[in-house]
Amino acid sequence: MVDYRCKRRVPVSVVIPYFNSSNTICRCLRSVREQTVLPIEVIIIDDGSTLQEWKLLQELGRKEDVLDIKLLRLVINRGAGYARNAAWSAVAKECMLVAFLDSDDIWLPRKLERISMIMMHNRQIEMCGHAAYITDSIKNKFACIYDIETREREKKIPLRYLSIFRVLISNPFVTPSIVIRKDSHFRFNSNQRLVEDYDLIIRIALNNKKIAYSEDRLAVVEKVYGRTGTSRILWKMRLAELVMFKELWKRGQISILLFSVVSVYSLIKHTVKFLLRTELALKLMRILKNSQHIV
């Protein structure tokens, strides 16, 4: 049996926004508990959940004996960006880094060890992120993904710095991959409910701060398209992205040519993604498959 309390701790605060997520928060925290190194603290900020959910979260915090959990609560739902900023303001003084994790996603065991080492040895890096596994069901793939991580842990994974153009052409990170310095003066846009993470990354890049990307897959993100939820509203997210590009152009931060290029690319890319995920596309695939059997 693993004695988690003997693990080394790194100067990292983990921030987890929570909204009626009692069905997934336990696996999320388990992935933090099973890190090869532990964070100094885990801040879970309830973003306007029901009173019953809040009580369940409080009970979970009382039972936790490995992680130092700090619970915060927003009575009214304000969105993930606002919640992350509120938690960020409460980060302990001894923490040097802030790592973001969503309550329905998980990290692989060496996430904190690898990314904290990168940022501690490269003080010029403002933000670091990494690749991730994207799945429609963490529950079904949890064990096999952990096996993959175990087999690949000794591989040397390339680290590269992202250019402004690379950041503008598409969002390089999923939110659970992002680690940023605690004393960074950049924050999420509290008034933005969609693509607020992408907005933060772009503002950091446009201010000539170094953003590092590791090709190591250290997180598992669950995305289920076709159901309700912020992460599934593809077209609203694209619209928010286009509005964000327009604001950058209006403020003179990007040229009209660059604004046109990234906007057209965004529309083409996400139109293709949307079509591939629609029920119509699935029906056409079935029809084609059946026609092949007939022939």
- Provide the 10 A C-beta neighbour count for residue 116: 21
Dihedral sign for Cα atoms in the order 188, 194, 198, 199: negative
What's the average model confidence in pLDDT over 166-186? 96
Q: Is the predicted pLDDT of residue 64 greater than 90, yes or no? A: yes
Q: Taking all residues of the chain, what is their mean pLDDT, rounded to a whole number?
A: 87
Enter the pTM of the model. 0.86
CATH (one of 3.30.360.10, 3.90.550.10, 3.90.1640.10, 3.40.50.10540) for 4-232: 3.90.550.10
Give residue 234's pLDDT band: very low, low, confident or very high (50, 70, 90).
confident
Read off the amino acid at residue 205: A
What's the average model confidence in pLDDT over 180-186? 97
Where does residue 208 fall: left (phi above 0), alpha (psi -120 to 50 degrees), or beta otherwise? left
Whether 240 and 194 have beta carbons less than 8 Å apart is answered as yes
pLDDT of 187:
97
Paired tokens of 187: 């924050």
Taking the C-alpha atoms of residue 246 and residue 267, their distance in angstroms, rounded to an integer, is 14
Between residues 233 and 56, which one has the greater pLDDT?
Answer: 56
Taking the C-alpha atoms of residue 66 and residue 77, their distance in angstroms, rounded to an integer, is 29
Residue 219: φ, ψ to 5°: -145, 160
Residues 6+ apart with CB under 8 A from 162: 172, 205, 211, 212, 213
Between residues 143 and 95, which one has the greater pLDDT?
Answer: 95
Taking the C-alpha atoms of residue 224 and residue 37, their distance in angstroms, rounded to an integer, is 30
pLDDT of 294:
45
What's the average model confidence in pLDDT over 26-42? 97
The structural domains of the chain, with segments of one domain joined by +, span 4-232, 233-295
Whether 93 and 78 have beta carbons less than 8 Å apart is answered as no
Between residues 23 and 5, which one has the greater pLDDT?
Answer: 23
What's the average model confidence in pLDDT over 245-272? 92
Q: Is the predicted pLDDT of residue 146 greater than 80, yes or no? A: no
pLDDT of 228:
41
Q: Is the predicted pLDDT of residue 225 greater than 70, yes or no? A: no
Whether 265 and 169 have beta carbons less than 8 Å apart is answered as yes
Dihedral sign for Cα atoms in the order 247, 83, 26, 67: positive
Tens of pLDDT, residues 90-142: 999 999 999 999 999 999 999 999 999 999 999 999 999 999 998 876 665 55
Where does residue 79 fall: left (phi above 0), alpha (psi -120 to 50 degrees), or beta otherwise? left
Please state, in angstroms and as integers, the Cα–Cα distance from residue 163 to each residue in 69, 78, 192, 212, 243, following that order.
36, 32, 24, 10, 21
Q: Is the predicted pLDDT of residue 45 greater than 80, yes or no? A: yes
What's the average model confidence in pLDDT over 132-161? 65
Taking the C-alpha atoms of residue 222 and residue 105, their distance in angstroms, rounded to an integer, is 6
Tens of pLDDT, residues 259-287: 999 999 998 887 777 666 665 556 666 66
DSSP state, residue 110: T
Tens of pLDDT, residues 6-28: 789 999 999 999 999 999 999 99
pLDDT of 24:
95
Alpha-helical (H) ranges within 11-121 are 25-33, 51-63, 80-88, 111-121
The separation between the first and the last C-alpha atoms of the chain, rounded to the nearest angstrom, is 58
